Amino acid sequence: MAEPPATVTLTIDGRAVTVARGTTVWHAAEQAGIDIPIFCYLDRMPPLGACRQCFVRVEKMARLQTSCTLVAEEGMVVSASTPDVRGAQERNLEFLLINHPLDCPICDKGGECPLQDQTFAYGSGRSRFVELKRDFAKPVSLGSVLVLDRERCILCWRCVRFGEIVAGDDALKGFERGFQTEINTPFTQPVRSKFIGNTISICPVGALTSRTYRFQARPWDNDAVPSVCNHCGLGCTVWLDVRDQTVARVRPRETPDLNDIWLCDLGQFGFEWLHAKDRLTRPLVRKNGQLVETTWDEALDLVAARLAESRQRGAGRVGVLGGARLTNEDNFLLRRVFREIVGTPHLDHRLDARPGSASLQVAWGLRGPLAAIPESSLLLLVGCDITEEYPIAWLRMKQAVDHGAQLYAIHPKPLEIHRFITGRLIHSPGAEGVVLAQIANAVRGQKPDAKVLQEAGVDPAVVAGLVARLRAAARPMVFIGKNALEGPAGTTVLHAAQRLQAAGCMIHIMRGKGNAVGAALMGVLPGPGGWTAPEMIQQAARGALDVLYVLGGDPATEVGDAHAWAAAREHTPLVVVHDLFLTATGRDADVVLPALTYAEKHGTVCNLEGRVQQIEAAVRGPAGARGDGAILLELAARLGAEWSYGGWEEIFADARAAVPGLEIGAFRTPPPLQGDWPANGALPARSADLVLITGEVLFDRGSMTARSPAIADLAGPPSVWVHPADAASRGLVDGALAQLSVGAAGLVLRARLTEEVPPGRVYVPRGYDAVPVNRLLSWDQPLVTVSLRAIDAAAAAGPGSEVAP
């Protein structure tokens, strides 16, 4: 039989339209520029046919048809605007409005509501309904970001299906039947999702609204400014809706091959820190042991004088830490000021790396576009907690899984997305290198050593399955995360990954937040003879540096060993910090300069794909604070440089000359893995004590998130996750206070009993500034064993407090 032609031609409202076979009538009409109203259909999800708003008449078909579900066929004759179709649309709207409260004046959707717009365009303009309307108690609060109004819901099921199809978290469900149907979370519990903000944007009415934006503004009050989210490193495109110099809300800005129309909740609700009351506005200088407010001139003169002094004493006595939160232009100036004028090679943005760790030996980023993930048939996560670290990438992985891809995870604890994972390789801490090496060997034909794998804690059968699939897979991808790179086996992981790359896998290095990739591109990396960030900290502790210059980072909480940072601070005569708030680093610094945020700057940033994107200043920022680039230019002038930059464009033009291929919209994809990394086949020694594993969480309480009430609520109190068996033997109950000690250092945290952490390990989420986990960690000891005991609530100063056991 002959293949059917690839296209079909149909007639819609008398117009001939040719579309690809399989296209629905609604899409065919859209292509022809004919508007058919819809509510339930959203082109990111398959059609459902729930709302009946999209009726059309098709010749030779008995009844009106829903165009969103009807596949176009050759020769179809469709009418979308005949009186019977218009009548059906009008009556359907009248039915929808029967149960609708029509409280547009107090509804946050008012002004941008599809139900309003369509009633205006297709409705009759009057109602014949005089009976009592459905009456539900409202509003219902579903956690700290979502507000539900059940009366307004038109039961289009978009929000429910978003949780099922797009995010895979089943956050919202429909309850009851018929007239009484309502959308809710089970038992009206606070919603548990990392993507719930998207249901607010796709809800075609005001049934789901945002708590942070509640009654803040009307669409006509807002100026939408294009920007790029600076949280996780994927650089999702956003609109900052600004009312009176205040960011009222953050909305996804559609970019099909990046975040598409989605955002994670950190990006959507984690912005209130921009306007926190304790933003710094005056420079601070330490005098007689106290940080006191001063003028910009005094602070800058002081810093410039000390930099010049150090330059006199010899090159290389100044260290620069940070840059991931700055724009490319700021980073370019940073590099110029310190390499060209101050003459030091010690620059590094990788604050949170361990000395000699694998992170320092490889370029960070994705080796291919994010949009290619759904085309892969095998995804392997190595020490990468994708939903916590790079949430929007998970939506792409979910698409791949829906297309039939297999997902594997090599991790020391189960992941949140475990039900989508084909093979879980939960290994003993520190064994990821051995496991990946065995897999790499097996892919190249060697038989894996079942005994070693078992000792590493993983099931050899799962490994065998993974290896067989890796050999057959189309475009397999390996995502190597911070946990693996910073662990004791980081270089072994890279070694194995390189061999997998030779066998056809694409290797992604999932590392870096904000504009880390841009900082690296602009050269905020050690120059010839320069030290890496951890080396700088070690050298500073020996008194090798006169000045430590810290910007866009908080080493006191980010550096993996708090004692190392404390020693560096103590032995460095001048520590200068640019920051938004008085962070832990700032409190101990000698000069603190108030800086501006990404929402207050023009410039460009790069995401993990190396995609160069432009951001625009949306608000002015607090009076008195200055952009990092402006501060650096002031310093340069005081140090005798005669530069003149008339704006970010001119800096960008200079950066383009220095970094070929740096164009807005272009990709500066990092090169494939290429290195000579030592492999270590030995398994770490087993320990009878509990092993401490730490990890990044999406919702934490860092300097920014703690100042965003919605996110701080979502994060919940700091806790230590313990397996119930380990808890029982120590007399710990869920929610009780527990003391975690390593040698002389101790921390008090709330115990969270969960099987999400295997026995023999405890997990502490990082990113809580009030809980200095890094005081328990040490660079000398990549695997830390801890002792855990229940303590009397009365005896402790409260969770997060430090104790000396």
Q: Using CB under 6 A as the criterion, which residues of the chain lie in contact with ligand FES when the complex forms?
A: 38-41, 49-54, 66, 68
Is the Cβ of residue 202 or residue 537 nearer to ligand FES in the bound state? 202
Across 40-148, the runs of DSSP E, i.e. the strands, are 55-58, 65-66, 77-79, 140-142, 146-148
Among other proteins, ligand SF4, ligand FES, none, partner that 157 touches (CB below 5 to 8 angstroms by kind)? ligand SF4
Q: How far is the CB of 67 from ligand FES (least distance, A)?
A: 6
Helix orientation angle between 628-638 and 296-313, rounded to the nearest 10 degrees: 60
d(CA 760, CA 329): 47
Report the 3 state secondary structure along 298-317: HHHHHHHHHHHHHHHHCCCC
CB neighbour burial string for 22-39, b if at least 16 within 10 angstroms, e if fewer: ebbbbbbbbebebebbbb
CB proximity list for 719: less than 8 A, separation 6 or greater: 749, 750, 751, 752, 764, 765, 799
Residues between 153 and 172 with contacts to ligand SF4, criterion CB under 6 A:
153-159
Binding mask 84-103 for other proteins (x = CB under 8 A): -------------------x
Residues between 207 and 226 with contacts to other proteins, criterion CB under 8 A:
214-216, 218, 220-221
Is the Cβ of residue 100 or residue 325 nearer to other proteins in the bound state? 100
Q: Is 106 strand, coil or helix?
A: helix
Among ligand SF4, ligand FES, other proteins, none, partner that 351 touches (CB below 5 to 8 angstroms by kind)? none
Q: How far is the CB of 118 from ligand FES (least distance, A)?
A: 11
Residue with tokens 């508007």: 35
Is the Cβ of residue 198 or residue 438 nearer to ligand SF4 in the bound state? 198
| Preceding amide of 4 cis, omega within 30 | no
Q: Exactly one of 105, 314, 646, 660 binds other proteins (CB under 8 A); which one?
A: 105
d(CA 129, CA 120): 18
802: Cα within 13 Å, side-chain hemisphere = 12
Among ligand SF4, other proteins, ligand FES, none, partner that 38 touches (CB below 5 to 8 angstroms by kind)? ligand FES
Q: Exactly one of 20, 61, 98, 106 binds other proteins (CB under 8 A); which one?
A: 106
Binding mask 182-211 for ligand SF4 (x = CB under 6 A): -x-------------------xxxxxx---
d(CA 701, CA 708): 9
- The residues with which 115 forms a beta bridge, in sequence order, are none
Residue with tokens 């001139």: 297
Residues between 344 and 373 with contacts to ligand SF4, criterion CB under 6 A:
none
Q: How far is the CB of 258 from ligand FES (least distance, A)?
A: 27
| Of 444, 436, 446, the residue nearest 490 (C-alpha) | 436
Residue with tokens 């980010």: 558
Among ligand FES, other proteins, ligand SF4, none, partner that 68 touches (CB below 5 to 8 angstroms by kind)? ligand FES
Neighbour-count burial of 463, counting CB atoms closer than 10 A to its CB (0-12 exposed, 13-18 middle, 19+ buried): buried
Q: How far is the CB of 53 from ligand FES (least distance, A)?
A: 5
Q: Exactly one of 49, 139, 414, 460 binds other proteins (CB under 8 A); which one?
A: 139
Output the CA–CA distances (angstroms, integers) from residue 82 to 12, 55, 78, 128, in the order listed. Answer: 11, 11, 10, 23
- The residues with which 20 forms a beta bridge, in sequence order, are 7
Is the Cβ of residue 155 or residue 371 nearer to ligand FES in the bound state? 155
Binding mask 112-141 for ligand SF4 (x = CB under 6 A): -x-xx-------------------------
127: Cα within 13 Å, side-chain hemisphere = 16
Q: How far is the CB of 51 from ligand FES (least distance, A)?
A: 3
Residue 109 near ligand SF4 by CB under 6 A: yes
Q: How far is the CB of 183 from ligand SF4 (least distance, A)?
A: 4
Is the Cβ of residue 159 or residue 452 nearer to ligand SF4 in the bound state? 159
Among other proteins, ligand FES, ligand SF4, none, partner that 41 touches (CB below 5 to 8 angstroms by kind)? ligand FES
Could you tell me the two tokens for 301? 């003169």
Is the Cβ of residue 39 or residue 677 nearer to ligand FES in the bound state? 39
Could you tell me the two tokens for 157? 């099921």
Residues between 1 and 40 with contacts to ligand SF4, criterion CB under 6 A:
none
Among other proteins, ligand SF4, ligand FES, none, partner that 214 touches (CB below 5 to 8 angstroms by kind)? other proteins
Q: How far is the CB of 203 from ligand SF4 (least distance, A)?
A: 3
Q: Exactly one of 9, 18, 69, 110 binds other proteins (CB under 8 A); which one?
A: 110
692 within 8 A of 776, measured Cβ to Cβ: yes
Q: How many CB atoms sit inside 10 A of residue 14's CB?
A: 9
Which residues sit at the interface with ligand SF4, rule CB under 6 A?
Answer: 100, 102-104, 107, 109-110, 113, 115-116, 152-159, 183, 203-208
Which residues sit at the interface with other proteins, rule CB under 8 A?
Answer: 103-106, 110-111, 138-139, 214-216, 218, 220-221
